[in-house]
């Protein structure tokens, strides 16, 4: 049975990978529809021939890497179960220490280590790819340091979650998923509050915006939007990337609007103000809180489905997986496998919600700044800096894109600009 499941798993992975290779390199069409050719959304109007070629090439490889690495994680967890590695990790933990919570820690260090090693090639290829296309400026030592930092932060958080989760499974075989979800609510809020002031500074240096004139303009915009902001933060990213970004993070008194220094170095003040107006929209429309609620609702459904699927799979394949019961720590790879698959399946819906919010934020920025030209040139520069496809293939947008495509964003701004000129002409006549 185990050999049969493993064979089917490998075949499914190969077919999945071959399908997306064929789709991305031979079938998908990323060319612009005729009606957009020659407009400001046409990459041929703001990228040279080499940049056009590189953006198409880089995007295809990057998307393929995503569609190969995601199911590879599932395959890894499947073979951890089938090869008895999960059982071995638990045996080693019981031999090493006597206390249950320490056994969980030892088991998890083994599982985390092998997972880290298995996924490291994909992480390195992604790093090397962005370095080759001059998007990443990060040296290898710095990249490896961040990978190890990720490992230990994820290990610490996972240890807390797994310890509580399996304690709940032993206490309530039927309702553990509900109790786990109830505990996840304050934990999610706590982590969101903690993220900008504890976790993010471990990776980068944050400081108040140095350009005080620009900061004054941004704070004046924040005042008009009734946002209680005292500072705009910039983060030193130029040592790691040439890409541009700005974001809003945190909740309550820890909420922050952050600009990468690459954005400050490459964009004009008008373009930066447009970006800031976009980020302020997320605060004004309470997208952070909406996202927390949405995430919790998805996690409730996810935990419920995971509980049902784990019960069914342990009953049917428990012997092949060497997992005697759902509440046994050996079932953790199965839990992680199901959660990862559910997250992938639900990603089109979560992406759709995110794209709606980003569209709302773009419209807010247009209305606040009344500067559609700054928005158009900003999105053109973002495309150039990140070698992004203006019109990505449908399945890429469906599974990956949490933002509208650059075609949609630029054409929306062009339409606004056209309507504004039309209105002015009508008023003048």
Say which DSSP state 57 is in: H
Give yes or no for a contact between 267 and 259, defined as CB atoms under 8 angstroms apart. Answer: no
> Domain for residue 290, yes or no?
yes
| pLDDT tens, residue by residue, 358-378 | 999 999 999 898 888 999 999
97 found inside a domain: yes
pLDDT at residue number 414: 86
Q: Is residue 412 part of a domain?
A: yes
Tell me the pLDDT tens digit for each residue of 126-166.
999 999 999 999 999 999 999 999 999 999 999 999 999 99
215 occurs within a structural domain: no
**pLDDT tens readout for residues 34-61:** 888 888 889 999 999 999 999 999 999 9
On the question of pLDDT at 249 being above 80, the answer is: no
Q: Tens digits of per-residue pLDDT, 168-215?
A: 999 998 999 999 999 998 888 888 777 777 888 888 888 888 888 888
Inform me whether the pLDDT recorded for 300 exceeds 90: yes
Buried b (16+ CB within 10 A) or exposed e, 81-116: bbeebbbebbeebeeeeeeeeebbbbbbbbbbeebb
| pLDDT over threshold 80, residue 426 | no
Integer Cα distance of 335 and 327 in angstroms: 11
In this prediction, what percent of the chain has a pLDDT beyond 70? 96
Instruction: Note whether residue 223 is domain-resident.
Output: no
pTM, two decimals, is 0.89
How much is the pLDDT for 218?
86
Instruction: Determine the structural domain holding residue 54 and report its residue range.
Output: 2-204+285-428
Q: Is residue 428 predicted with pLDDT exceeding 80? A: no
- Name the domain count of the chain: 1
Task: Note whether residue 146 is domain-resident.
Answer: yes
| Residue 154 to residue 137: CA distance in whole angstroms | 25
pLDDT at 2: 78
Tell me what pLDDT residue 424 has.
Answer: 59
* Per-residue pLDDT at 250: 67
- Residues labelled catalytic: 279
Does a structural domain hold residue 423? yes
**For residues 351 and 397, what is the distance between their CA atoms, to the nearest angstrom?**
8
Torsion angle of alpha carbons 344, 345, 348, 354, nearest 10°?
A: -60
For 310, the enclosing helix (H) or strand (E) is: helix 287-321
Residue 242 in domain: no
Confidence bin at 239 (pLDDT 50/70/90):
confident
């Amino acid at each position: 049975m185990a050999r049969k499941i493993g064979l089917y798993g490998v075949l499914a992975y190969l077919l999945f990978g071959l399908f997306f290779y064929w789709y991305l390199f031979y079938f998908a069409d990323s060319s612009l529809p005729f009606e957009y050719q020659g407009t400001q959304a046409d990459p041929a109007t703001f990228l040279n021939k080499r940049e056009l070629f590189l953006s198409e090439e880089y995007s295809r490889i990057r998307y393929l890497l995503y569609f190969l690495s995601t199911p590879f994680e599932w395959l890894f967890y499947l073979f951890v179960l089938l090869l008895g590695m999960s059982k071995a990790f638990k045996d080693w933990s019981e031999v090493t220490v006597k206390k249950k919570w320490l056994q969980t820690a030892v088991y998890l260090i083994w599982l985390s280590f092998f997972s880290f090693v298995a996924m490291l090639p994909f992480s390195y290829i992604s790093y090397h790819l962005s370095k080759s296309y001059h998007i990443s400026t990060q040296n290898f030592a710095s990249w490896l340091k961040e990978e190890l930092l990720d490992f230990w932060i994820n290990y610490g958080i996972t240890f807390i979650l797994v310890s509580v989760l399996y304690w709940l499974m032993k206490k309530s075989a039927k309702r553990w998923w509900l109790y786990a979800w109830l505990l996840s609510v304050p934990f999610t809020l706590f982590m969101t509050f903690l993220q900008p002031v504890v976790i993010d500074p471990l990776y980068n240096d944050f400081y108040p915006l140095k350009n005080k004139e620009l900061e004054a303009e941004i704070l004046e915009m924040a005042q008009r939007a009734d946002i209680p902001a005292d500072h705009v933060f910039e983060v030193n990213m130029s040592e790691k990337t040439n890409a541009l970004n700005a974001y809003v993070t945190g909740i309550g008194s820890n909420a922050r609007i952050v600009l990468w220094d690459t954005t400050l170095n490459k964009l004009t003040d008008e373009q930066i103000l447009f970006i800031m107006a976009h980020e302020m929209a997320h605060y004004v429309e309470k997208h952070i809180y909406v996202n927390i609620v949405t995430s919790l609702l998805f996690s409730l459904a996810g935990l419920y489905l995971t509980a049902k699927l784990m019960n069914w799979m342990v009953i049917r394949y428990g012997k092949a997986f060497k997992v005697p019961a759902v509440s046994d720590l050996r079932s953790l790879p199965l839990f992680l496998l199901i959660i990862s698959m559910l997250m992938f399946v639900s990603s089109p819906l979560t992406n759709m919600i995110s794209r709606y919010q980003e569209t709302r934020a773009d419209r807010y920025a247009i209305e606040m700044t009344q500067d559609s030209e700054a928005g158009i040139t900003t999105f053109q520069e973002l495309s150039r800096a990140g070698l992004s496809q203006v019109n990505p293939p449908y399945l890429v947008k469906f599974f990956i894109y949490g933002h509208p495509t650059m075609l949609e964003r630029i054409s929306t701004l062009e339409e606004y600009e056209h309507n504004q000129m039309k209105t002015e002409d009508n008023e003048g006549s």
